[in-house]
Amino acid sequence: MVDALEQLAQYGVPSQGAARLLDVGSAEFLRYFERETLDDFVCRGGATCKLFEGAYGSGKTHLLHLLHDLALSKGMAVVKTDLSQALS
Q: What is the mean pLDDT of the chain?
A: 86
Q: Which residues contact 41 (CB under 8 A, 6 or more apart)?
A: 48
Residue 87 has pLDDT above 70, yes or no: no
Residue 72 has pLDDT above 80, yes or no: yes
In the chain, where the domains are located: 2-73
Angstrom CA distances, 76 to 39, 43, 48, stand at: 11, 9, 14
Q: Tell me the whole-structure pTM to 2 decimals.
A: 0.76
Q: Which residues contact 5 (CB under 8 A, 6 or more apart)?
A: 22
Point out the least confidently predicted range of 21-35, 39-53, 63-77.
Answer: 39-53
